[in-house]
Structure 1
Amino acid sequence: MLSIFKITNGKKVAVFAALAILSGLIFELVAYLGFITTQEGFHLYWNLKCISPNLQMGLLNSDIQQYHGNGNAIPVNLFNVLIYITGLVGLVIFYVSKFKEIRLIRFFFSIVFLSNGITLFFMVINAIRWISNPAFNLFLWVLNFVMVIFWCLISFIVLRHYMQERELEMDSEVEDLFGNKGIYESPSKLQRLFHSLVDTCIAVGVCSALVASFYLGVISNDYFATPTSLERSLVILLSMFVLYALFEWLFGATPGKMLTESRTIKTNGGKLTLGCVLGRSFARFIPFESFSFLTYGDGWHDLLSKTTVVKEKRTGIAGRWYWLLPLGYLLLVIGIYVGGEMLEKYRFKQENEKNYSRHYNQLQRQLDKITPNTVIILNSIEGDYSSGHISLIVDKVISDAVEVSIIPNEGVSNLSEMAQRYTQMKPLVGGVRILISDLKKGITPSMSDYISNKIVGFRLPNDNHRYAISDFALLDRPFLSARGKVLYDSQIITFYLETKGSAADLIAAKNIEGDINWAGTLPLQIKSADLNSSYENEITMIANNCRKDENIKSILTLKDSQGCIYQFMLTVQDKECSIEKIN
């Protein structure tokens, strides 16, 4: 069984690389495109994501929070995507070159090794700290732990295999101090600078945030503490030391050196020892050591540790072709940005259409069950608003028609004021007969028609304007409606309701289905509906001890100023909230 871990040829490396790259890209793509729409899918996503390499980009964090229909957010890290794309390009070149060009493949596996190695360390620390916590899931921890070890081991074996396989490049034209020819070829000053830049970015970006997290969460026991400038500097220096020492001891090369096919050896040609690597890593922090490369020969950390950096024998393509990569990355980033903007606009449009469809269905139901004292709020759709917004108050329902009073909204802010004006003006403006079929022309099922002002609308007697129905309200009794969405946060659920009726007190909330505890004290005062601002009509209710995957039914009981009781059934199913009047 252990033979699976024996790397004997490039084909097996390609298989492991393909598994790592494609699984990682698939999970990032699934999150980015928003395919997950249920709570069960959200849990399944995170449980299966351990199959892919656990990349930790630390400070190089550009998460796009993808909010899905279940109210959860799955972060998509663009730097993770770029690392996977780098690995994919390297895999294609690796295969086309008949498994000879290995620079990008080695770089990809170096990031996998570093990320999973750090993750492994933190998993052990967290298990020690949280294993006694009832919320700690041992099965999922073991599953993730096994997969992290798997990717650590695979990447380690691949990197060691190519370290032992590659020969060093000899330069027969260069003589040493004693006149001997055929010494190892050294990378150029520009390549050494490239090594330093890449390794510093990885150390600062990948390691330092995780080291800082360990310091804040384990040592200081406060994840929200802000590190001081000194602490932040020490964390970065420690991260750089760990990166240099670990990679040069295990593989003889840091990720930056792997990109240029370079390696560190002892000046006598021998293998690096741990003491030699530690001395070399410590020497890097000597003040002004970075400028030592401006002089002839190696830098101080090379001279003091009696080491040197040499070139490996090239077996793949010429390095100049890799200058195309920055252009490719630029086009990729532009494509991701443009595609993301288009996708966001599409999702926004879909969500608006869904909300409009919900609002349309609600208007249709209310029109079908219209009763006296219903307020029909109208908007002019002629483009000329000189007549102002008006409302129709139903006096009487007559089979296929209604008799209404036409009341101007000007100077009226809520239903209480509307009721007073209705009492005063009814003798003068009442008795206007309108067919139900004409009222239905004021509602359009198409959001695009609504936006482009293609609503058919209806006309009122002695009024040349066409009107659309904006909303309904009840003049003489309380009425509640749901905004459709609920918000989950841990074990807390927030309901967003609206009042579309007269003032009342919410005096009771009784659970019929679902184990939740309503927060807040009752009675809760509900004001008369505002006719000018829907935000003034919002009612926020919070419940505790809820599970995101359970359906909820609860009876809300309201009592108005006359002592009359009204009950509504509040229902949450598939994360959508609705409310219906019971009596």
Structure 2
Amino acid sequence: MYKKITLFALFISIIGIILGFYRDYNSILFNVLDFFSYNIFTGQEIFWINGNYLRVIFSVTLFIGAIAFYKSKEKETRILRFAFSTLFVEICVFVPLRLYFISAHIKSFALKDYALSFVSLALMFFVAYFLYKSMEYLNKSKALDYETFVYTESTEIAYFKTNNWQRLFHFVFDTIIFGILGFQILYVLIRTELFNGFFETLQTQLNPQLIFTLFVVVFRTLFYFTFETLFQASPAKFLTESLVVNDEGLKVPAGTIFKRTLSRSIPFDSVSFLLKADWHDSFSFTEVYKEKKTGLQGSYYFLIIPLLAVFLYGMHLWEVKKEKDMYYEGAIKTFEGKNANITEGLKTIDTNTVLQLKNDDYSSRTKFLKVENVSNSTIEFSVLNLENESYQRFNVEKGYETSKDTLKKVKIKRADLQKMVLSDFKQSSDYNESDKINFEGIAAIPELKGKYIEYVLALHSPNLQISDSNFDANGVSLYLENKGIPAEVISVASNDKNINWNLNMLPKRFAEYGSVFLRGEGKDISGYKLRVTINDSLNKKFIYEISSTENPKSPKVRLIK
């Protein structure tokens, strides 16, 4: 049994550690590993600590416990008894919740869902059974520590009571574990239709402080009663190798444990041990005695704290790096797409073209260059400055019309226009690392020094952009925005027979601050290409191509005609 326990603990802990770093939620490997993942933390943020960090901490602690148990030839059991007992109780709570969720959604289940639900429940029952039998085995290997006094006519056995420091540790650590389990259970309960209605009714009849107190009393009673009835100890007592017994060192019945648990609700009971009163002990005629220490001696276990702290800090640094890499990966793709659009736009520049500029001075004003005259070698621009808030209302045309006679003019050589296009993402204002490359722009013209082209716009025309897009199991959703003159979508065409685009709402006008929603129905969509025709307020038609063949999550928009 000792090898089975070791292998089980290693299996669960290694899966937990892997999932802490590998989180490709859509991959088959992740879903297979997650199916066999068991942890006292559900992944919710607790006490402002990332839920994933907490799951990894538990997995690493369990891994250390498994190694210590194996190396000590099953003598060191503290971490395993703490982890196994807590995990067992949590599974026992979540099994009925899982059954409730299955029954609530069973009508929408496919055959695959039935099979997965059955296997998942069977696995949960098996894990709970194995944990319980493991706890029985581990507890049998422990005995109370005692001292024998031999007198002339009798022999007396005296058990060792836990000291005040251990009592304080029991109170603090059990409160933390109780709070974590209670929070996670409550978090799940309030998201069920049955209990959510109950909570809402309760809130109308009682004040929040009283509701919180009631939940604390109920959960704490269940917490201590369950642990001390099944295992004669709470999670913290396993770590200090302590046991709840009667004064003769024997196991106490469930009724006595219930009385002991209710006594904990007496005000100041938690600190009564400081006065050597121990009310929940004395009222229930129970004691907390020490077990014989059979595992690691000394303070080696305290090394777990700095080890976990270092591991947690390392994981935090890894998370920061991963988030930064993901951000820059997406930002570079956006940068490359934007540069391609700018290069394409500069090829067809005319007197209807406006260049929107950007720099790193965090100004509240945005600079625009409106084309006035185009020749083979030079282009003359008017320099327009607008408050950012004004530009957000798409008033470039209005701003130009009201001030065009007073705007400053600049001439730029056609060949120099490329100097206003970023050649490297490290020149972008979105890049903030130490190796950032300074962008000069056209330094010879003071108004343009350090400024680069962000967008090539066309006045008196629509400007189609995608504000959001996402895939799901049944299709793709697109949200189109128009940042030009008023227009409407009049048609959508696609040669992909696997996607059925919903065209019933066409023609659809763009609201000033809204978007046009397009929905394409289809299974297992990996990419798409469609043409959207727009008719503007001047009755001109524009055809755009929207495609996501290169990167499904980042569709591109290209003006065709």
- What TM-score comes out, normalization by structure 1 length? 0.77
Corresponding residue for 1:347? 326
Distance in 2 of aligned mates of 1:57 and 1:466 = 49
Relative distance call for 1:450 and 1:234 in structure 2 (3 A) is closer
Aligned counterpart in structure 2 of residue 107 of structure 1, from 82, 97, 101: 82
- 1:15 Cα deviation from its structure 2 partner: 1.0
Q: Deviations over 1:282-331 (max 9, x none)?
A: 3333444335434547x333334333222222111125333333334444
Q: Deviations over 1:173-195 (max 9, x none)?
A: 699xx985322222212212322
Question: How far is the alpha carbon of 1:22 from its aligned partner?
Answer: 0.7
**Alpha-carbon separation, structure 1, partners of 2:56 and 2:475:** 33
Residue 501 and residue 213 in structure 1: after superposition, are their counterparts in 2 closer, same or farther (change >3 A)? Answer: closer
1:445 is aligned to 2:423:
yes
C-alpha separation in 1, matches of 2:405 and 2:9: 80
Corresponding residue number in structure 2 for 1:154: 130
Q: 1:59 to 1:348 in 2, by over 3 A?
A: closer
Q: Are 1:375 and 2:375 matched, yes or no? A: no
Residue 556 of structure 1 pairs with residue 522 of structure 2: no
Q: 1:50 aligns with which of 22, 29, 35?
A: 35
Q: Deviations over 1:440-483 (max 9, x none)?
A: 23223311134556446457899996864332112353342446
Q: Is the 8 A contact 1:211 1:235 kept in 2?
A: no
> In structure 1, what is the Cα distance between the partners aligned to 2:456 and 2:448?
23
2:462–2:482 Cα contact (<8 Å) kept:
yes
1:21, CA displacement in angstroms?
Answer: 0.5
- The amino acid of 1:307's aligned partner reads T
Q: Unaligned stretches of 5+ in structure 2?
A: 430-435
Q: Where do residues 410-429 of structure 1 align in structure 2 (5 Å cutoff)? A: 410=385, 414-417=395-398, 420=401
Matches within 5 A, 1:180-329: 180-211=155-186, 213-214=188-189, 217=192, 219-222=194-197, 225=200, 228-296=208-276, 299-329=278-308
Q: Match for residue 72 of structure 1? A: none
Tell me which moved more, 332-341 or 486-495.
486-495
Residues 105-114 or 330-339, more deviating: 330-339
Question: How far, CA to CA, are the matches of 1:325 and 1:307 in structure 2?
Answer: 32
* Alpha-carbon separation, structure 1, partners of 2:339 and 2:69: 57
3-state DSSP class of the match of 2:251? Answer: coil
Per the alignment, in what secondary structure is the counterpart of residue 306 of structure 1? coil
Identity of aligned residues (%): 22
**1:47 to 1:141, Cα distance in 2 relative to 1, 3 A:** farther
Tell me whether 1:94 sits opposite 2:79 in the alignment: no
Amino acid at match of 1:254: S
Deviations 1:408-458 (A, max 9, x none): 2146964534775899799x979x6833x4322322331113455644645
Taking the aligned partners of 1:212 and 1:336, their CA distance within structure 2 comes to 26
Letter in 1 for 2:456: F
Distance of 1:63 and 1:247 partners within structure 2: 27
- The separation in 2 between residues aligned to 1:174 and 1:318, in whole angstroms, is 28
Q: Distance in 1 between matches of 2:236 and 2:400?
A: 76
Q: Which amino acid aligns with 1:29?
A: F
Q: 5+ unaligned residues in a row in structure 1: which ranges? A: 1-6, 65-74, 528-537
**Residue 222 of structure 1: SS of its match in structure 2?**
helix
Partner residue, 1:30: 22
**SS of residue in 1 equivalent to 2:355:** strand
Q: Write the distance in 1 (CA, Å) between the matches of 2:83 and 2:106.
A: 33
1:164 Cα offset (Å): 1.4
Shift of 1:402: 5.9
Q: Which amino acid aligns with 2:98?
A: M
Structure 1 residue 123 and structure 2 residue 123: aligned? no
Deviations 1:323-377 (A, max 9, x none): 333334444444444443444344333333332222112212323x415345251
Q: Secondary structure at the match of 1:409?
A: strand
Alignment size in residue pairs: 535
Give the match for residue 393 of structure 1: 371
Match of 1:575 in 2: 553
Measure how far apart 1:257 and its partner are: 0.9
Distance 1:153 1:540 in 2: 54
CA distance in 2, matches of 1:547, 1:61: 39
Out of 472, 492, 499, the residue aligned to residue 456 of structure 2 is: 472
Provide the rounded CA distance (Å) in 1 between the counterparts of 2:193 and 2:406: 72
In the superposition, relative to structure 1, how do residues 337 and 44 fare at CA in structure 2: closer, same or farther (>3 Å)?
closer
Cα separation, 2, equivalents of 1:238 and 1:284: 11
Q: Secondary structure at the match of 2:107?
A: coil
Report if the CA contact (8 A) 1:58-1:207 is conserved: no
Q: 2:147 aligns to what SS in structure 1? A: strand
The whole-number CA distance in structure 2 between the counterparts of 1:142 and 1:166 is: 37
8 A Cα contact 1:555 1:569, kept in partner = yes
Q: Which amino acid aligns with 1:161?
A: Y
Asked if the contact 1:553–1:570 (Cα under 8 Å) also holds between the matched residues in 2, the reply is yes
Q: State the TM-score, normalizing by the size of structure 2.
A: 0.80
SS of residue matched to 2:379: strand
| 1:470-526 CA distance string (max 9 Å, x none) | 32112353342446x525699897645554654433344456653454798854247
Contact residue 487 and residue 537 of structure 2 kept, 8 A: yes
Q: Relative to structure 2, which stretch is displaced further, 343-352 or 149-158?
A: 343-352
User: How far, CA to CA, are the matches of 2:169 and 2:445 in structure 1?
Assistant: 80
Distance 1:381 1:165 in 2: 71
Which residue of structure 1 aligns with residue 432 of structure 2?
none
Change (3 A) 1:449 1:463: closer
The SS at the match of 2:555 is strand
Residue-by-residue CA offset, 1:242-266 (whole Å, 9 max, x unaligned): 2222222222222111101111223
Question: Per the alignment, do residues 378 and 466 of structure 1 end up closer, same or farther by CA in structure 2, a change over 3 Å counting?
Answer: farther
Q: Secondary structure at the match of 1:53?
A: coil
Superimposed CA distance per residue, residues 540-578 of structure 1 (whole angstroms, 9 cap, x where no aligned partner): 333458679534444432212332222223334522222
